[in-house]
Amino acid sequence: MANLLDLLQGQMDDNFLDTLSSQIGADDRQQTATAASGIMSTLVSALAKNASTPEGAASLSNALDRDHDGSVLDNLFGMLGGQVQPQNPRALNGAGILNHLLGEQQGGAVDMISKMSGLDSSKTGNLMTMLAPMVMGLLGQQKQQQGLDVNGLTGLLTQTVTSQKQSGNPLVDMATRFLDKDGDGSMIDDIAGMVGKNLLGNLFGKR
């Protein structure tokens, strides 16, 4: 079974990162790359947590069938620039996706990822809104391509998070710890500082 975070990371080539940086007004591509990885790890972890109950998994499956068929991935550059609009506007509703996935934890997640990456919090928030439709689109695409039912969808998300934690991905560990806590400021500082110390070498050594 495909690892969702590996598939998402595969979208992050230099051209795409340059486009993301330009769209949010960031000067440092590496900060954008680090923040993007933190965002994707957080959103996938939140999806896995939401899908851990039968009701949450069914709701997610229905949302993917209704709004996220993966078509947003056909032209990511056009999507980011606003030149391309999907037939279903909800597929690009990043703010709505984030509100559903993170709720009141969204501000804390932005703060944590900003501290960890060095990217300004307002730019981090914009980046999170831009990437949320891509995460949902890729998950919906995998659901279709693999013919996943509700249990299969839960398995894909759970396997992704578990395998990433076992392989020592500090961002997934950061995200799951954050989502399991209340998200108070001191905890955010602790997690962001712990991850930021050796993140770049560990995460981007393969780049």
The one-character DSSP state at 182 is -
Q: Where are the beta strands (DSSP E) in 12-168?
A: none
Confidence (pTM): 0.89
* pLDDT tens sequence for the chain (207 residues): 568 999 999 888 898 899 999 999 999 999 999 999 999 999 999 999 999 999 999 999 999 999 998 888 887 777 776 666 666 778 889 999 999 999 999 999 999 999 999 999 999 999 999 999 999 999 999 999 999 999 999 999 999 999 999 988 899 999 999 998 755 556 677 777 767 665 544 554 443
Which structure tokens are listed for 46? 């939140």
Spatial distance between the Cα atoms of 180 and 195, rounded to a whole number of angstroms:
17
| SS3 sequence of the chain | CCCHHHHHHCCCCHHHHHHHHHHHCCCCHHHHHHHHHHHHHHHHHHHHHHCCCHHHHHHHHHHHHHHCCCHHHHHHHHHHHCCCCCCCHHHHCHHHHHHHHHHHHHHHHHHHHHHHHCCCHHHHHHHHHHHHHHHHHHHHHHHHHHCCCHHHHHHHHHHHHHHHHHCCCHHHHHHHHHHHCCCCHHHHHHHHHHHHCCHHHHHHCCC
The predicted-structure confidence for 19-66, as pLDDT tens digits, reads as follows 999 999 999 999 999 999 999 999 999 999 999 999 999 999 999 999
Q: Which two tokens stand for residue 95?
A: 């703010």
Residues 121/114, Cβ–Cβ less than 8 Å: yes
**Residue 114 carries which side chain, given as an amino acid letter?**
S
CA angle 180, 185, 189 (to 5 degrees): 90
